Copies of this chain bind each other. A is one copy, B any other.
Amino acid sequence: MEHPPDDPKPEEHNGFLNRVAGYNPQRSWRTWLIGHPLPTAAAPHQTVSKAVGLAVFGADALSSIAYAPQETLVILAAAGTQAFGYAFPISLIITILLAIVTISYLQTIHAYPSGGGAYTVVKENLGVPAALVAAAALLTDYILLAAVTVASGVAQIVSAFPELFAFRVWLSVGLLVLIAIANLRGVKESGNTFAAPTYFFLGMTALTVAVGFIRYLSGTLGDVADPPRLESLHTGPITLFLLLRAFSNGTTALTGVEVIANGVRSFREPRTRNAAVTMIWMSTLLAVLFLGIVYLLGVIGAVPSETETVISQLARTAFGSRGVLYLGTITATTVILILATNTAFAGFPSLSAIIAEDGFMPRQLTFRGSRLVFSRGIISLAAVASLLIIVFNASVTALIPLWAVGVFLSFTLSQAGMAIHWWNNRRPADKRLTNKEMKHPYDPGWRWKLIINSLGAITTAIVTLIFAITKFTDGAWIIVILLPALVISFYRVHRHYVSLAQDLSLEHYGQPPPSKRHRVIMPVSAVHQGTLEALDYALSLSADVTVVHVSIDPAQTEKLQHNWNWWGKGVRLVVIDSPYRTFFEPFLEYVNELCAILQPNERLTIVVPQFIPKHWWHNLLHTQTAFWLRFALLNKRGVVITEVPYQVR
């Protein structure tokens, strides 16, 4: 007997009844907000060209042009405007750092053509504990990436429309919510969404820098007209510590560089080559624009401020007014920052799903929502990032110190993992391949590659340390405490799942003989139709039924006893006097006494008549006995609580 595969009628399959749910999702506010549910079979896969890949995976890194120069200047401002001269030399060092990190990641692209996220690389080469440290760093990074980029995007908007300054926190939270909704719908990382804004941004930024330089060389580029007030009133000396702090802030320009290496799998074949070429292009563009902007900012005497970004100051000075080109630059910068936020929304949920799959985070995070996205991860990210924005008052400068220490820690671990990877591949292949050696194919260039990744690891480790030390009191201490706490909680979650699996395991499980006696007790306060229905149910479970009445009002008790003689079907009634007018304590005491004398294979079921009113608000007019009873007896072994609902017609 055969049915067509989509027939909803039951069919025999492997000897079991098998059916397909005929459930058809209904339209509701939920489908309106996040779209109609998608069946599991609809999961897509597509690849991108180099040009689109630059837009999709480069948006995060390129967007750092929007905040890294500003955050460098903010620190230098503490020593007065004359310290701004140090910004360009610092930027040169950062560009060298960018080159080292880029070359290191180019090797990751070749070694991990299916995507070399830090968690994967570190787990494979340095083991699980280090991978969990990287995971903790990456998760906090994603959260801070979302908070910083949205706050920075809003700072651009506020620069153009100063009257919105008072609403920047709620603008940021609103934007985060919109991005979260878009991701709950399932934003495809497709060219349509990313290509146009990213290239618009690149074009506008390049135009700003180009016009700036032309006017600078022709001598027509003046200072910023009407610059914002310098906020730092305290003018200290220029110390090495100050310069290192400025350098730390500037290194945020490197955030997002690793994204292309994570996404190799999405490139068109030959994918490793295409990804590598894209990465070189991206780093070059980033370096040129970053250096150009920092240089011009020094020329025009831009002033870092919460009310107007330096990008805004540069654009209106270069273009000579707040005209169309100015607004184009600000719009492009805002949009790219929001696209960068989306990197967090793509990365956080899928990383937490991978960690949850390994049993280190709640399993629910692996569940794909109605639109096939990891909805719980998306919502968690939006919630935590919103909280950060509210707490830090949407200030990019306040959020930055928390951020980059985690980014560079994950860089360091990832590069160290790569170095170990090459070390493992140092032996030439021979005929007697063991299983372990199969995993580590010989690479003739292992020496050079080891050196490059080691250099990457050491440089980023130094930056991590500089960042942690110079930013410690500004907020980096939060991360220094948070990361170990996260790693510990990963382990506690893991221990729970492992010990649960052992406890529930059927290995060595001598199934106990089925229970023989079934004792039923049922609390009653009065005799009515609901009580009798529950009594009927109780008698269907067992012949050993005891009805228990906790006496608070003697008159009510007497009435109950009278009625029980008539309606109680001869079932045993126990009356417990409660001198303190409480129901739970005497009843629980009775249950505990019974449990103490329960035999090994005897069961105790508590049947609670539960009245279900017509309107939900009627519940306020009744005591929710069963609910509290279940709560109180949660940890009693062998006790089952059954609510027998009684619905009023």
Within 8 A of B (CB), among A62-114: none
The residue in chain B whose Cβ has the minimal distance to the Cβ of A648 is B503
Contact flag A528-B540 (CB < 8 Å), given A21-B589, A25-B580: no
Taking a contact as CB atoms under 8 Å apart, the answer to whether B576 and A21 are in contact is yes
Taking a contact as CB atoms under 8 Å apart, the answer to whether B645 and A642 are in contact is no
Q: How far apart sit A359 and B634, CA to CA, in the bound complex (Å)?
A: 34
CB distance from A202 to the nearest CB of B (A): 39
CB distance from A10 to the nearest CB of B (A): 7
Asked whether A370 is an interface residue with its Cβ less than 8 Å from the other chain, the reply is yes
Q: How far apart sit A634 and B648, CA to CA, in the bound complex (Å)?
A: 12
Taking a contact as CB atoms under 8 Å apart, the answer to whether A23 and B580 are in contact is yes
Q: How far apart sit A4 and B533, CA to CA, in the bound complex (Å)?
A: 37
Contact flag A634-B640 (CB < 8 Å), given A529-B503, A575-B17: no
Residues of chain B lying within 8 A (CB to CB) of residue A40: 552, 579-581
Q: Type the 1/0 row for A192-233, where 1 means its CB is closer than 8 Å to any CB of B.
A: 000000000000000000000000000000000000000000
Residue of B22, B514, B644 near A539 (CB, 8 A) is B514
The residue in chain B whose Cβ has the minimal distance to the Cβ of A10 is B574
Within 8 A of B (CB), among A614-635: 618, 620-623, 630, 634-635
Taking a contact as CB atoms under 8 Å apart, the answer to whether B621 and A493 are in contact is yes
Taking a contact as CB atoms under 8 Å apart, the answer to whether B589 and A22 are in contact is yes
Q: How far apart sit A643 and B641, CA to CA, in the bound complex (Å)?
A: 7
Q: Type the 1/0 row for A38-52, where 1 means its CB is closer than 8 Å to any CB of B.
A: 111100000000000
Asked whether A586 is an interface residue with its Cβ less than 8 Å from the other chain, the reply is yes
Contact flag A496-B582 (CB < 8 Å), given A576-B20, A647-B635: no
Residues of chain B lying within 8 A (CB to CB) of residue A528: 504-506
Q: How far apart sit A578 and B23, CA to CA, in the bound complex (Å)?
A: 8
Binding site for B on A (CB under 8 A): 10, 13-23, 25, 37-41, 362-364, 367-370, 493, 496-497, 499-500, 503-506, 509, 511-512, 514-515, 518, 527-530, 532, 536-537, 539-541, 550, 552, 561, 563-565, 567, 572-582, 585-586, 589, 603, 605, 611-613, 618, 620-623, 630, 634-637, 639-649
